[in-house]
């Protein structure tokens, strides 16, 4: 059965209800998309199979048709399904380079949080050092604007997306397209880690000063200090993720999304 409609966003003073609804919608979209992606990548839903209709999927997952449409757009963007107007959505052939991509290759290896951190440290420490030397004033302004959005975001999906965007913008400022593509190839894994990092106070609160410190070092053109702050920022997870450090990112993210959804439903 579909879930009953949520109350409208009627808090013009703070926008709290609207923010809560947006955050819940984002988490629900993420959960459904991850489940369907997993079924497609593992073959549980076969190549060429037709997905259920929007209405049927909405009933199956207890979501609105708007959420289901967002999920289908994401699957299509990842080349996992093909949408035939008037006929429905079909699972695409997964042997194509577009469909597999680096993200699929990484996920097949089931990397852990620790392994992602170990990969990010040498990559992003070098990226931020180059950015300190090469960033334009316009790029520094963009970084400050993204950081403002991270700090003002009131739901975890928006905050995590902006966090990924900040790290990508630093890579752009490094003026090294190879490093930027390397970072982009793990952005999906980074997003999963940032969902947890931006919603767990034990991880989030110690890291609050880190982004402003990194940006200050970039603005000062101090490459050594920027590298130091980035290393400290990334290494924080090694101290704060506890038993999740050696759990696969996919399992950790799925479990955390379910926890956040239950927390929302309990309110």
First-to-last CA distance in the chain? 21
End-of-domain residue from the set 60, 91, 122: 91
Q: Is residue 118 part of a domain?
A: yes
Last residue in a domain, options 91, 120, 146? 91
Query: Do residues 169 and 253 both lie within one domain?
Result: yes
Question: Would 43 be classed as within a structural domain?
Answer: yes
Report helix angle 156-173 to 187-197, nearest 10.
130
* Whole-number pLDDT of residue 11: 46
| Same domain for 212 and 146 | yes
Looking at residue 262, what is its pLDDT?
A: 83
Whether 144 is covered by a domain: the verdict is yes
Indicate the residue among 91, 120, 140 that finishes a domain: 91
Listing DSSP states for 20-31 in one string gives HHHHHHHHHHHH
Structural domain range at position 123 = 110-266
Same domain, 119 and 169: yes
Residues 144 and 228 reside in one and the same domain: yes
Same domain for 184 and 240? yes
Shared domain for 70 and 141, answered yes or no, is no
The count of structural domains within the chain is 2
CATH number at residue 54: 1.10.10.10
Within this chain, do residues 135 and 209 fall inside the same structural domain, yes or no? yes
Q: Note the pLDDT of residue 218.
A: 99
Q: What's the pLDDT score for residue 124? A: 99
DSSP string, 154-166: -SHHHHHHHHHHH
Q: 121 and 210 share a domain?
A: yes
Q: How is residue 132 written in tokens?
A: 């300190």
Q: Token pair for residue 203?
A: 């991880």
pLDDT computed for residue 1 by the predictor: 37
pLDDT digits (tens, 9 = 90+) for 101-149: 677 778 878 999 999 999 999 999 999 999 999 999 999 999 999 999 9
Clarify whether residues 129 and 169 are in a common domain.
Answer: yes
Residue 81 and residue 129 in one domain: no
**Cβ distance 170 to 229 under 8 Å?**
no
- Same domain as 134, residue 32: no
Domain of 129, CATH number, reads 1.20.120.530
This prediction has a pTM of 0.76
78 and 170 belong to one structural domain:
no
104 in any annotated domain = no
- The pLDDT score that the predictor gives to residue 27 is 87
List of the chain residues with pLDDT < 50? 1-14, 16-17, 96-100
- Is residue 163 in a domain? yes
């Amino acid at each position: 059965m579909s879930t009953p409609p949520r109350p409208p966003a009627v808090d013009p003073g703070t926008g709290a209800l609207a923010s809560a609804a947006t955050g819940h919608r984002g988490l629900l979209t993420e959960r459904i998309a991850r489940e369907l992606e997993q079924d497609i990548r593992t073959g549980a839903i076969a190549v060429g199979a037709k997905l259920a209709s929007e209405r049927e999927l909405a009933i199956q997952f207890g979501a609105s048709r708007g959420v289901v449409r967002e999920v289908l757009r994401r699957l299509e963007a990842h080349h996992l399904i093909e949408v035939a107007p008037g006929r429905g959505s079909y699972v695409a052939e997964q042997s194509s380079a577009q469909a597999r991509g680096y993200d699929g290759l990484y996920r097949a290896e089931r990397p852990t949080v620790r392994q992602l951190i170990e990969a990010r440290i040498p990559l992003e420490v070098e990226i931020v050092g180059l950015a300190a030397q090469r960033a334009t004033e316009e790029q520094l302004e963009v970084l400050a604007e993204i950081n403002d959005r991270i700090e003002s975001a009131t739901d975890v999906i928006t905050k995590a997306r902006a966090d990924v965007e900040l790290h990508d913008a630093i890579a752009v400022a490094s003026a090294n397209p190879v490093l930027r593509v390397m970072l982009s190839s793990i952005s999906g894994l980074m997003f999963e880690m940032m969902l947890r990092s931006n919603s767990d106070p034990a991880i989030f609160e110690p890291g609050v000063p880190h982004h402003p410190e990194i940006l200050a070092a970039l603005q000062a053109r101090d490459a050594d200090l920027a590298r130091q702050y980035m290393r400290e920022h990334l290494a924080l997870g090694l101290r704060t993720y506890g038993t999740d450090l050696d759990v696969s990112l996919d399992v950790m993210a799925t479990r955390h999304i379910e926890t956040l959804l239950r927390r929302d439903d309990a309110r």
